Amino acid sequence: MNESTTMKRPRPSLVSVIVPTFDAIATIGHQLDALAAQDYDGAYDVIVSDNGSIDGLREWLDERVRVDGQVVHYVDASGSAGASHARNAGAAHSSGEFLAFCDADDVVRSAWLRELVATASTADLVSGSLDTSVVNSVATYRRRPLSPSLHGFETDFLPYAPGCNFGVWSSVFRAVRGFDETITDGGEDLDFSWRVQLAGYRMAHAGAAIVDYRLRPTVREFWSQVRRYAVGDVLLYSAYREYGFTGLSNTDFAQHVLRLLVTNPAVPHALSRSPRGQWIGAAAVVVGHLQGSIRYRTLFL
């Protein structure tokens, strides 16, 4: 066990911002612009960890550096598919004492890095807030409305830091051996966060470290993502139930199913008052949990 941070750490001499990327030319420019505009007055560098892009990302970055002069370090992270491998590869090539992670299709706000680093002075792992109201259409936003919060991301077990917005001291990242690259259905950020905390490190939330989070734009993509994440829930349950992670009780599950029946699109909207997109997300969770229960032979409601 490691003792969590109780004394204030000095500010890191260098922060490495790691951006795992796959075929993101359409969006990564906005993220790089936002990273260049940070109001953090300390030293930081940006690492684009490319997980096998086939859209010409490397050439695009070279041209951007030539035209704009923004220094971005490119890492070839094509050895294994998945964001976990890209994050690990980026971290392996980093020099910063503190690592900050964001995604290529989102946009960090100007105070993002400053707030993460400030909170990390008394914590080992720091989560930031997500906002879905800025970079998504109204219809897409309604499927998953998220606003900045002071409370972080809670579960019925331990809180977690979303993979698209968190910071961690590099020594802590190495101590827990980074992300588990065998987790491919989603939930790798929960697994990482929980391993950090179970190892005795302290987690905190920086509510003002905000990322404008881009949702999947189509209903089909949204359904697929939520269902896949729900499958991953079952794997997490099988790994962490001995530590206290539980599924829904039979009563809670029955109430959830009843809610789906009452608010489903076949019921007139005037009666259900439920946004259709949110119903689709809730239904995808149920389907994913059932599929995961079959795949991993572990009942998780």
Q: What is the rounded (10 degree) CA torsion for 188, 227, 218, 166?
A: -20
- Between 180 and 265, the more confident residue is 180
Nearest-CA neighbor of 17 among 3, 36, 39, 41?
A: 36
CA dihedral 30, 46, 164, 127 (to 10 degrees): -120
Output the pLDDT for position 214.
98
Render pLDDT for 233-292 as a digit per residue (tens, 0 to 9).
Answer: 999 999 999 999 987 656 666 766 776 776 676 655 555 555 667 778 788 888 888 888
The answer, as to whether pTM is greater than 0.75, is yes
CA angle 170, 150, 208 (to 5 degrees): 60
What's the CA gap between 210 and 111, in Å, rounded?
8
Mean pLDDT, the chain, as a whole number?
A: 91
CB contact at 8 A, 29 and 36? no
Of the chain, the percentage scoring pLDDT greater than 90 comes to 71
Domains parsed from the chain with CATH numbers: 15-212 (3.90.550.10), 219-296 (no CATH)
CA distance between the termini of the chain: 32
Of 215, 23, 213, nearest in space to 106 by CA: 213
Name which residue leads in pLDDT, 68 or 188: 188
